[in-house]
Amino acid sequence: MGVLEDRLPENILFTTVDKFLNWSKKSSLWYMLFATACCGIELMQTGASRYDLDRFGAVFRATPRQSDLMIVAGTITHKMADRVKKLYAQMPSPKYVIAMGSCANTGGPFYKDSYAVLKGVDRIIPVDVYVPGCPPKPEALIEGIMKLQERIMEKKTLVKK
Ligand code: SF4
């Protein structure tokens, strides 16, 4: 602290506006309660007491209007794709997407033989983090959320366009 040492009361921190805003965003990732197949069971497990996602500031919401994170957990069929796009559009910005599991990443085990399954959710909405696995374990999803938090911390909010 140099010249400021011992001249300020306790509990004062210095930071940049960007860092403060990013810290606020990464510490309150409210994810939409949304699962379409077996990966959803792992998502529920991650949110439950054993893995306790709440400690990262990530709590689930029952509506897209209160969510800033969509975790796509499960297979997305072409029939479902429009609904996913609509849900994403209803989320307020800034908003983020994690593709959880092989189905959300690429179509997974249905990639080759199914005419009904979307070959990756990034074909319809932007994805920030991909979590591999079939299904990914809760530890993997937590790592994905931590990666997203790292990416959020790198963002520049106060940049002239
Ligand atoms: S990636 Fe595997 S576990 Fe997840 S929804 Fe697809 S088939 Fe189920």
State the distance from the centre of ligand 1 to the C-alpha of 126, rounded, in angstroms: 20
State the distance from the centre of ligand 1 to the C-alpha of 109, rounded, in angstroms: 8
pTM: 0.89
Query: Which ligand 1 atom sits closest to the C-alpha of 101?
Result: 1
| Pocket residues: Cβ below 6 A from ligand 1 | 37-39, 74-75, 101-103, 108-109, 134-135
How does pLDDT run along the chain (161 residues), one tens digit per residue?
Answer: 566 666 666 777 788 889 999 999 999 999 998 889 999 999 999 999 999 999 999 999 999 999 999 999 999 999 999 999 999 999 999 999 999 999 999 999 998 889 999 999 999 999 999 999 999 999 999 999 999 999 999 988 777 66
Pairwise CA distance, residues 64 & 68, whole Å: 8
- Is omega for the bond preceding 138 within 30 degrees of 0, making it cis? no
Query: Which ligand 1 atom sits closest to the C-alpha of 135?
Result: 3
State the distance from the centre of ligand 1 to the C-alpha of 101, rounded, in angstroms: 6
Contact present, 30 and 60 (Cβ < 8 Å): yes
Distance of CA 154 to the CA centre of its chain: 15
Return the SS3 of 97.
strand
**pLDDT score at 33:** 81
For every residue of 5-23, DSSP letters joined together read TTSS-SS-----HHHHHHH
Contact present, 48 and 76 (Cβ < 8 Å): no
Second CATH level (architecture) for the domain 30-154: 3-Layer(aba) Sandwich (3.40)
Residue from 39, 41, 130 to probe ligand 1 pocket by mutation (most atoms less than 8 Å from CB): 39
Residue that has been written with the tokens 């975790």 in this structure:
71
**Beta bridge partner(s), residue 114:** none
Distance of CA 18 to the CA centre of its chain: 20
Return the SS3 of 64.
helix
